[in-house]
Amino acid sequence: MSEHGSEKKKLDLAALASIPLIMTLANSMLIPVLPLMKKKLNISSVQSSLIITVYAGISILCIPIAGYLSDRFGRKLVILIGMAIAAIGGTVSWLAAWLMQDHAYSVILIGRLIQGIGAAGAFPIVLPLVGDMFRSEEEVSSGLGMIETSNTFGKVLSPILGSALALIVWYMPLASIPVMSAISIAAVWFLVKTPNKDEEKVGLKQFMSTVKKLLKDNRWLYAIFIIGGILMFVMFAFLYYLSSVLEDHYHIEGIRKGLILAIPLGAICLSSFVGGKLVGENKPRMKWVTVIGGGIAAASMLVCAIADTKSLVILIVIMFAGGAGIGAMMPSLDALITEGVEKKQRGTITALYSSMRFIGVASGPLTASALGGKETLLFYLLTGTAICGALIALFAIKPGRGKPKEQKS
């Protein structure tokens, strides 16, 4: 690739990297603000958790549809429409919080529902688009690494930015979502140039048949999907718990609270980066990093269940260790899918994998809020869930199987 072409691809990737950053912020930066929203809207803990769950829940259903539409009508078009819908949904939620006295909560949920539909056509479609843009596996891996770095950076930044914006006015995090979405839309519109593809358009019936056959021939993918969902469930459940206990028990609010929440998220980011470097293209190593990471996460949750989790220092240390375990697993799961599925099938598999992860995102805060005041039970549940993830990785992931048989060009 020429120097000019390389620079151009960097601009393309920078524009695409803004999407996971913004979509992560759009959801995760609300977590530290949920206790404040609960007070301002006069709602219960379960109702406040639905602000996260509704967004993720509708995405679960829409991501596979967006994946199919991106194959048929083009990835850039679907991404732009998805981001526009997300911006509209964010605007609805913001205006409801700002202007409405009665029924504000219900309209905020409607806005979050619309936003979740748009999000389904954004970040999950970025991953296969990066695969379309490059020819070599090394360039694809490098591009995906930049996208994942943006995603994890968004996770670290989200509690700090969300807490800071809420200091201005409690609904400011909602108001920022359409503004950030508009910036990303402009970047993608002007900077991203998608390759011309002369592939035959696939009908819905043929698409469904292909997906069914693909999953039948690659049953190990079910293990990856389940583990991905487990990771997000454990992560978002303990983040919701930590956000609530910091405010309710320690009376820590604002940016200080955001900085504390960023500690386990920073562990996830750091261990994800290190884990990605560690596994390389070594499939057996990917498996064992996943197993060990699940074991570390399970051990951390078990310590929370049996120790004094109201000790702030102990709690943060344990959560940091748990975040490190979760973060180490993520790049291994991504790589197993990337290396184990043919390039032309990655869009579909990535969409299904993203849907399973969103199940964890949706159910984590809801479960943590429903078990409010029963933290011991919550952490035993998270321990058992993480153990299941490690065991599935141990027995169901078979390195060397399911490797695509692609022609060398």
Q: What are the boundaries of each domain within the chain?
A: 3-191+201-396
Q: What percent of the chain has pLDDT over 90?
A: 46
Mean pLDDT value across residues 15-24: 91
Looking at per-residue pLDDT, the higher value among 398 and 341 belongs to 398
Mean pLDDT value across residues 122-137: 79
Please state the CATH superfamily assignment of the domain spanning residues 3-191+201-396 in this structure.
Answer: MFS general substrate transporter like domains (1.20.1250.20)
- Choose the most confident range, by mean pLDDT, from 104-113, 204-213, 265-274, 335-344: 104-113
pLDDT of 402: 45
For the stretch 386-399, pLDDT in tens is 999 999 999 998 76
Question: Is the pLDDT assigned to residue 252 strictly greater than 70?
Answer: yes
In whole angstroms, how far apart are CA 90 and each of 114, 119, 392?
8, 11, 37
- Asked whether 70 and 128 are in contact (CB, 8 A), the reply is yes
For the stretch 161-185, pLDDT in tens is 999 999 999 999 999 999 999 999 9
Question: Is the pLDDT assigned to residue 258 strictly greater than 70?
Answer: yes
pLDDT of 407: 39
Mean pLDDT value across residues 83-112: 95
End-to-end CA distance of the chain: 17
Mean pLDDT value across residues 252-271: 89
| Cβ contacts of 333 within 8 Å, gap of 6 or more | 224, 227, 228, 231, 290, 353
pLDDT of 409: 36
pLDDT of 406: 43
Confidence class for position 71, pLDDT limits 50, 70, 90: confident
Closest CA to 308 of 370, 238, 376, 362: 376
Q: What six digits make up the tokens of 45?
A: 């803990």
pLDDT, mean over the chain: 86
Mean pLDDT value across residues 245-270: 89
Looking at per-residue pLDDT, the higher value among 61 and 195 belongs to 61
Question: Is the pLDDT assigned to residue 360 strictly greater than 50?
Answer: yes
Confidence class for position 64, pLDDT limits 50, 70, 90: confident
